[in-house]
Amino acid sequence: MFPDGVAPDLDRITNWKDSWAYRAGIEKKFGSFGIRVGYYYDNTPQPTVDVGPLLSHNDRNVYSAGFGYDTEHLGLDIGALLIKFKDRPVLTQQTDNFFGTYSETALVLVGGLRVAF
């Protein structure tokens, strides 16, 4: 442990680079109802040497779907995102010495309600 119980401040240099993201979506209206689907692909800006348990970012495919209902005074939206990260093997060189293969998947559920007076 540290003498006073507090860890010293550390500077951790990262060499992230600019990257591209590609996104598309579509909505189909049926009167007051709407159905939405989408897809996006993100390239990671994180070099392999910076990958670790704190942040193991990698290229990802994201699929989205949603439903909406809208009137003059009321709106309701629900949706979901499925985020599939590509596996990220870190086997030879890593800043913090946390080696292994990082794998992530996330499901994000969202909802919104609008009331107008």
Q: pLDDT, tens digit, for every residue of 27-41?
A: 999 999 999 999 999
Cα 22 to the chain's mean position, in Å? Answer: 14
- Indicate the pLDDT class of residue 84, thresholds 50, 70 and 90: very high
- Indicate the pLDDT class of residue 1, thresholds 50, 70 and 90: low
Cα 95 from Cα 16, distance rounded (Å): 13
Q: Tokens at residue 60, please?
A: 């990802």
8 has a pLDDT exceeding 80? no
| pTM summary value | 0.74
3-state secondary structure of 48: helix
CB-based contact 107:82 (threshold 8 Å): yes
Instruction: Name the percent of the chain lying above pLDDT 70.
Output: 97
Cα 61 from Cα 40, distance rounded (Å): 6
What average pLDDT score do residues 62-89 get?
A: 94
Task: Give the torsion through C-alpha atoms of 53, 106, 101, 19, to 10 deg.
Answer: -80
47 has a pLDDT exceeding 90? no
Cα 90 from Cα 92, distance rounded (Å): 6
